[in-house]
A and B are shown apart, each in its own frame.
Chain A
């Protein structure tokens, strides 16, 4: 008797659990058509004056779009923690689109989640998604920040008195090398004798070493400093204290250098985020792969600071106009800094060419070595 009752009870319980389960599983789908809930995961703090801040600024803009709900989580390491954060956003907040903003989130973390939650869309901020290899509900969005560094270089080449520019870089990986090269090419457009001295710190966030590098470059006679590290704050502040001019990276560092700031290469992720939110609101499928630069307003340069002279502004504006028209800027003849030819005379590399994303050399005029 009691045994039977128990059985019935368990049955009822599991049936109820089943209904709740089905309901929960259906929830993201239903929410999807009506109001998008967008989850954004950051690897560092949202106010880092760098990569994460660029995304956080866009998230803020996205929140102002009516009907869009944004949930954010910062300081999520590239471990199983990020999988659980995404899952928590899906299960507890009903997120139907996830922006994974750090490079290391992609493989295996975001891919695992995309497989597990086929009805949720996942997008990753780098150009890693490949059609045949990765799930169809995953994708990539990517901005060509190198174009912003090129414009930085054009302005820096005009204002530099010594013609010696400094670049503090994290690791010698393709995206970083491309930014260094672009900065040099921009500078050489304004001043054919300009050189860029590069220091690799070895990791993405080493504030002490970044400050040392900024001081070392200042001592070596560089009068314009820029960087590619996670948070440019220390570099820009140190350079400002030494009375140098600075060019920014990732987000706006203008408030950090009221005297020496020229301009900066900035991501405008809000362009992409707003596009995606609009597509969801319309119930349309999101593209798997979007990429672009200044031409698509994915990248923009920070408003000129006190360090930008009238001539520098004019030159930078002209360079921006060229990029808007999608005019290539990596033009041959071009050698790397070991003397090997990388672009023959008469040829150029298109702004959208993947060859740029595979850059494995420093161009002539860059003082420094990858190894």
Chain B
């Protein structure tokens, strides 16, 4: 006898066990795609209402958003180029997050990474060939970033210092160190009104991916995202990290080296942001200066949270953010909207997505069917 109050019609045919399994998996798997999409749609509707209040045309806004971000080959490259550093800085947030640590100091690791890449290049640029020096610069950048965020991990583990605040404050220290060195000992005398280090040399610059304007930092970001996804999802190290993130005390009771795990994942995270700094210096600026402080580290936090700290998902989310930033200029120019309007749209997406988190596990359609439903 079926319960009529349940309301759901009983399936007419009884699927094979394997097929039923697949349907259940699809149902619960699609939760992670459908809910964010609904959230983005809701934020688009909210933002359209805002535009209507301002007397602007939402259709124009979204068509410009599409055109400026993804509508042409030029727009795609524009978006990808802007996404490149975001993938790396988002990884800096995502990895520790899986171990239960909220690290928001990627900006500092990026700045230090860029600074150290330039610092090692300056004395050696004439002594070493680019084949040797370029990887050396990247390694220095990763080491610097890794050390910086690794310190945050050590403070957290050994002294119980809140890692969120510590990493944020550490990034101000990193910026101060860079300003001090760039305006003092490392200053190129030719850079009078914009203090910078000397150039790293034309030959040591990272080139664009052939056929595009996008530098290799994008490829590096995607490769690292894939590697870190494998590490988190498919290795014992990743499993231990996730256990630590779930409950550090229980992990400790199980004999997991919680301290080593925390510090090492912070260091890997910092290395990712440091690498972003390397590409900023070696692919874009050709020297280290205050232009490194461009907020990539902070936008990366947003990207990581929207991707639910899943390294693979970070890639498309970063490209989405790159596209919104790329289209922002076109929207300003064509619609006469201030830059803040694009930021508002971004933040609406962020807020609505965070709110939508509460929906996970609450919508029946995404739940595996109960035995009663199956029969």
Contacts and interface: CB of A to CB of B under 8 A. Distances in A.
Interface in B58-78: 67-68, 72, 74-75, 78
Contact of B291 (A91, A93, A104, A175): A104
Interface in A196-215: 202-203
Given A73-B333, A79-B291, A108-B285, A202 B179 contact: yes
Nearest to A41: B329
Given A173-B192, A174-B193, A91 B333 contact: no
Interface residues of B, number: 32
Contact of A104 (B194, B280, B295, B333): B194
A73 B329 contact: yes
Contacts of B192: 173-174, 358
Nearest to A89: B333
A72 B333 contact: yes
B144 to A, nearest CB: 20
A84 B339 contact: no
Contact of A74 (B294, B330, B338): B338
A88 B78 contact: yes
B106 interface: no
A78 to B, nearest CB: 4
A91 B74 contact: yes
B329 A79 contact: no
Contacts of A91: 72, 74
A75 interface: yes
Contacts, number: 79
A291 B186 CA distance: 31
Contacts of B183: 171
Interface in B241-295: 280, 284-286, 289-291, 294-295
Interface in A76-100: 76-81, 84-85, 87-89, 91-93
Contact of B329 (A45, A76, A173): A76
B98 interface: no
A203 B175 CA distance: 11
A73 B327 CA distance: 11
A92 B330 CA distance: 8
Contact of A93 (B75, B326, B333): B333
B333 A71 contact: yes
A73 B332 contact: yes
Interface string B314-349: 000000000001100110110000111000000000
B280 A79 contact: yes
B195 interface: yes
B330 A78 contact: no
A126 interface: yes
Contacts of B326: 84, 88
A85 B290 CA distance: 20
B82 interface: yes
B74 A79 contact: no
A83 B74 CA distance: 12
Contact of A88 (B179, B294, B330, B339): B330
Interface of A: 45-46, 71-81, 84-85, 87-89, 91-93, 103-104, 108, 126, 171, 173-175, 202-203, 358
27 contacts: A73-B329, A74-B339, A77-B295, A78-B291, A78-B294, A79-B284, A79-B294, A81-B82, A81-B294, A84-B78, A84-B81, A84-B82, A87-B78, A88-B329, A89-B329, A91-B72, A92-B67, A92-B330, A104-B194, A104-B289, A104-B291, A173-B193, A173-B194, A173-B195, A174-B193, A203-B179, A358-B192
Given A45-B339, A87-B74, A93-B333, 5 more contacts: A79-B291, A84-B81, A84-B82, A92-B72, A175-B193
Q: Which 4 A-B pairs have the closest CB atoms?
A: A75-B339, A71-B333, A78-B291, A77-B294
